[in-house]
Amino acid sequence: MSKAAQDILGHVETLVGDAGKAPPAAFQPTIDPFLIGLYDSTLSGWYRAEQKELFLGFPISPEDVVLDVGCGDGGNMNLCADIGAHVILADIDANEIAIGKERLSKSNARKLEAYVTDSDPLPLRDGTASRVVCMETLEHVDDPAQIMAELVRVGQKGALYLLTVPDPVAENLQKPLAAPYYWQKPNHLRIFEREEFAKLVTDAGLVIENRYYYGFYWSIWWLLFWQCDVPVDAPYHPVLDNWAQTWKALLDSKNGLRTKRILDRFLPKHQIILARKP
């Protein structure tokens, strides 16, 4: 288990407390569902600090220039910055970019750049980045092919790409359950079928090196969330707290990791493509 995973698990266990003690009568769940989701991600191959990989098969070095398009608050770049890479943040939301710049301003990043942009075009020269990350973004944009063209343009020859979008199985399950705004701009404008996503990547000129599917925990969390009528932050509804506790207990069980892998394939929340620019 990576140090990042150990640290997260240690924090989770601190939150849970001593399972051998009887809970008080007014017991309230104390596991943060998002913390459990982060731990689950490390078990799926994310944030491999010891191996210096943002994701399994996506290594980062201090010499890399890592571009994150649709970066949000920059949280996914923490590891890249800690390794000492040159990090470039790009997002349409100025507030998120401000948070990201503040988050990474005192990191070990060799250089930090941040741009408020719709990525059409990206304010970067051709062949800028050796690593390009675009996570859960292409389903939000009006013209995914145009954004992919920009991602390819700014990548160096041989650059690695880490691309993710929601998996169609979980997305289609949410159709009758999610609030209408989930399917409206600036949220999800389309559902990418798996081969459609792959074609988008190869039509842009990239070579696919591997594909992954994960996130059963989040698939169920979101299906439950829509029924709880609460904001997407703490305090969480008891249904969501209890789901987090159930998933943590499963992961801790004898066959927990094996069960997770099977369920991740059965009902993934995310599909991942690792690709390379020839």
Residues 224-247 pLDDT 10s: 999 998 888 878 899 999 999 999
Instruction: Flag whether pLDDT at 145 surpasses 80.
Output: yes
What is the rounded distance in angstroms from the CA atom of residue 124 to the CA atom of residue 121? Answer: 8
What would the mean pLDDT of 212-221 be, rounded to a whole number? 98
CB within 8 A of 190, min separation 6: which ones? 139, 144
pTM of the model: 0.89
Residue whose structure tokens are 């904001």: 231
Kindly list the domain boundaries of the chain, sorted by start residue. 3-276
Question: Strand ranges (DSSP E) for the chain?
Answer: 46-48, 53-55, 58-59, 65-69, 86-91, 111-116, 129-135, 155-166, 207-214, 270-276
pLDDT score of 4: 41
110 alpha carbon, distance to own chain's centre:
23
Instruction: Flag whether pLDDT at 8 surpasses 60.
Output: no
pLDDT score of 30: 66
Q: What is the CATH number of domain 3-276?
A: 3.40.50.150
